[in-house]
Homo-oligomer: A and B are copies of this chain.
Amino acid sequence: MSISPLAPDHIAALPPLDGVRLCAVPAGIRYPGRDDLMLASFAEGTTVAGVLTRSATASAPVEWCRHHLRGGLARALIVNSGNANAFTGRTGQTDCSRTGEAVAAALGCAPGHVFIASTGVIGERLPMERLLNAIPALESGLAGDQWQAAARAIMTTDTFPKTATLRTRIGDREVRINGFAKGSGMIEPDMATMLAFLVTDANLPASVLQELLNDGNRDSFNAITVDSDTSTSDTCLLFATGTADHAILDCHRDPALSAFARDLGRLMRDLAIQVVRDGEGASKLIEITVENAENETAARVIAKSIANSPLVKTAMAGEDANWGRIVMAVGKSGEAVDRDRLGIEIGGVPITRNGAVVEGYREEQVSRHLAQQEIRIQVDVGVGTGRSTVWTCDLTHGYISINADYRS
């Protein structure tokens, strides 16, 4: 499979982080000849927060994480690709327990401190023997410089690994955040993403981490959609090793955390947009901003209605300035809009204002913008002050080819 034309120019190299070691191996879960199982180990005292899919058919690993997040402590993360361990009933739960116990035994920690994620086919049992057999090699290979290998091991239909790293401050001390994610199809995360793992050396209690993660998630993973299909496996975990040397903080609203919160949000948005850039068959990245809706939630619903419209997405694929389809998608959203104040801009070119085409509108200007890889759509619905931005990709023959054949 060729790399998405929307892939970033550079794949960020994730630097080592005190207290974190990783390893990836080919366990033969499903894909031959590539790493498909990764393990990360964390220093004692590492705290953890997570957001998980709200799907009513959530996978066994999602339920495992939901349960063990209550403890707020983590020592390991194990992730396989190729099999989601979803809709596998009691067997799936047992397989999670066995995995957790095996990793715990190898690392000398409690099973409840082992976090688990799986991505791939739904409804098939994990090949447990292969998975368990791979654990010794994983454990012995753990090293501080294996972030890239880990990011690659969790890919399914992804065409590039999604990584991001930054330095920020808590109070006057520098801390670091590393993150990696996967996702390409079945992407309209509902409270989380497909799989995203964030690690910081910050020293923060799990309750604070959780609030920061919820805030960051709202305008990153929860603001993207590839195909309107919400996964059974969406999982985003944030680990904090606590090795950074800053003051102890116990409230997420502490002013000393403002830079960290902002930068965590930036890093999450970076990863989320990389997921869209690798949307199945994508040839365009589309940013949709809705303004002046009744409130922020209404703006999000309208923006998602546009972002999920097959007719808008195919028009973008065809570089067709067919803005009537945006009018349609706004109208069907179910939210309050004032048709006679509706304003639409594409690529900064005003098309309609106050419910009518602007005088002197020239389609060529919009067509030039649509020929680019990155498209901006701005919609003013004229009823309030709510605002929201979402990101999506176009709908192309590539999506059909990938999904009419690939068993994901």
Contact = CB atoms under 8 A, between A and B. Distances in A.
A357 interface: yes
Contact of A87 (B57, B324, B408): B324
A230 interface: yes
Interface stretch (A7-15, A68-76, A104-112, A391-399): A391-399
B123 A87 contact: no
Interface string A205-237: 000000000000000000000011111100000
A347 interface: no
A324 B121 contact: yes
Contacts of A50: none
Contacts of A320: 404-405, 407
A319 to B, nearest CB: 8
Given A397-B400, A400-B397, A332 B122 contact: no
A84 B325 CA distance: 12
Contacts of A339: 56-58, 87
How many copies are assembled? 2
A331 B55 contact: yes
B324 A123 contact: yes
B122 A327 contact: yes
Interface in A327-371: 327-337, 339-340, 342, 352, 355-357
Contacts of A190: 332
Interface in A23-57: 53, 55-57
A155 interface: no
A81 to B, nearest CB: 15
A228 B330 contact: no
Given A122-B328, A322-B408, 13 more contacts: A57-B328, A87-B339, A87-B352, A122-B327, A123-B324, A123-B352, A186-B325, A186-B328, A229-B329, A230-B328, A232-B331, A314-B399, A396-B404
Which 5 pairs of residues, A with B, have the shortest CB-CB distance? A122-B324, A57-B331, A318-B404, A55-B331, A314-B403
Interface of A: 53, 55-58, 84, 86-87, 89, 121-124, 185-186, 188, 190, 227-232, 308-311, 314-315, 317-318, 320, 322-325, 327-337, 339-340, 342, 352, 355-357, 395-397, 399-401, 403-405, 407-408
